[in-house]
């Protein structure tokens, strides 16, 4: 559990007391990619993200996968954390890696000017054909959906101590918890989860339910689509583009899943 203890003064009404509090740790992580022939390797800084330390290798691989840089486990030669805040992802020597195209892609995807149809078209060109294939219909019982928030909440060890983290978890169709991740960034938590399954060659996740501790944004639905996830449930509200993304990729999107109710979008 990555927490830090600090001294605080706690007020209640007209009284106060000096005590300690636990905070969720937030530190930068640099993700670098190594590429090219083994005798002439080059490296490139791909991203610096603010995250809660832990599962950093999964985060780096998951990020590269959900951003469309790598498509399968075999694209990655090795993953290594060089220090507390740097992960080097070494790609296969014969992997086709276009640095200029990558830089344009990240500039575009992080720009506030990208929205609507353009964003959906960009995702469509990136999601692999394997993950776009829809399997035979399968049903999820309402009682299974109702049970997910509490199961996710029980898995949030660091949130219990700090109250300051996002979380996501993967369940099977019967509501059994398979894996969960926490992070100060909701996108990082999901990249950690997806990266774990990619490194274990278990993508696409088309027989699983994704549960989010907060709202359902376009970015999270995009990452779910990349992993082939077909059902996303969120405690909070979905955005309009999240709903459009779910519709485009055949994802069942559940929002406002709390207090014995939910909406299906």
Please check the confidence at residue 224 and state whether its pLDDT lies above 80: yes
In a domain, 9, yes or no: no
What average pLDDT score do residues 224-246 get?
96
101, containing H or E segment: helix 99-109
In this structure, the answer to whether residues 109 and 164 fall within a common structural domain is no
Mark whether 196 and 151 lie in a shared domain. yes
Question: Could you tell me if 137 and 259 lie in one domain?
Answer: yes
Over residues 67-82, the pLDDT tens digits come to 999 999 999 999 999 8
pLDDT of residue 111: 42
Residue 11 lies in a domain: no
Range of weakest confidence among 29-33, 106-110, 170-174, 254-258: 106-110
**Once rounded to an integer, what is the mean pLDDT over residues 211-232?**
96
Which residue in the list 112, 115, 168, 231 is annotated as catalytic? 112
Same domain, 180 and 59: no
Q: Which long-range contacts (CB under 8 A, 24 or more apart) does 47-50 make?
A: 47/106, 49/185, 49/188, 50/26, 50/184, 50/185
Say if 7 falls within a structural domain: no
Q: Are residues 162 and 49 in the same domain?
A: no
pLDDT at res. 109: 54
My answer on whether 163 and 240 are in the same domain is: yes
One-letter-per-residue 3-state SS of 141-160: CHHHHHHHHHHHHHCCHHHH
Highest mean pLDDT, choosing among 2-6, 22-26, 100-104, 141-145: 141-145
Looking at 75, 110, 126, the residue that finishes a domain is 126
| Verdict on whether the full-model pTM lies above 0.85 | yes
CA nearest 199: which of 51, 12, 62, 42? Answer: 62
Active-site residue, 112 included = yes
Q: Do 88 and 121 share a structural domain?
A: yes
Instruction: Note whether 36 and 82 are same-domain residues.
Output: yes
């Amino acid at each position: 559990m990555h927490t830090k203890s600090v001294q605080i003064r706690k007020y209640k009404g007209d009284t106060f007391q000096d005590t300690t509090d636990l905070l969720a740790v937030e530190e930068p992580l640099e993700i670098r990619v190594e590429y090219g022939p083994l005798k002439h390797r080059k490296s490139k800084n791909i991203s610096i993200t603010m995250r809660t330390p832990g599962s950093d290798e999964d985060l780096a691989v998951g990020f590269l996968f959900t951003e469309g840089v790598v498509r399968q486990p075999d694209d990655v030669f090795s993953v290594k954390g060089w220090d507390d805040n740097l992960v080097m992802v070494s790609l296969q020597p014969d992997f086709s890696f276009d640095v200029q195209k990558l830089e344009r892609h990240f500039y575009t995807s992080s720009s506030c000017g990208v929205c609507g149809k353009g964003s959906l078209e960009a995702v469509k060109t990136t999601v692999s054909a394997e993950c776009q294939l829809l399997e035979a219909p399968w049903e999820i019982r309402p009682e299974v959906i109702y049970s997910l928030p509490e199961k996710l909440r029980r898995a949030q060890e660091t949130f219990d101590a700090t109250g300051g983290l996002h979380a996501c978890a993967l369940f099977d169709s019967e509501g059994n918890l398979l894996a969960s991740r926490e992070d100060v960034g909701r996108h990082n938590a999901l990249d950690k989860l997806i990266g774990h399954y990619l490194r274990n060659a278990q993508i696409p996740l088309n027989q699983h339910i994704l549960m989010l501790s907060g709202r359902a944004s376009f970015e999270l639905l995009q990452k779910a689509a990349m992993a082939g996830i077909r059902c996303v449930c969120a405690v909070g509200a979905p955005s309009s583009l999240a709903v459009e993304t779910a519709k485009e990729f055949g994802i069942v999107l559940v929002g406002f899943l709390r207090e014995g109710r939910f909406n299906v979008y």
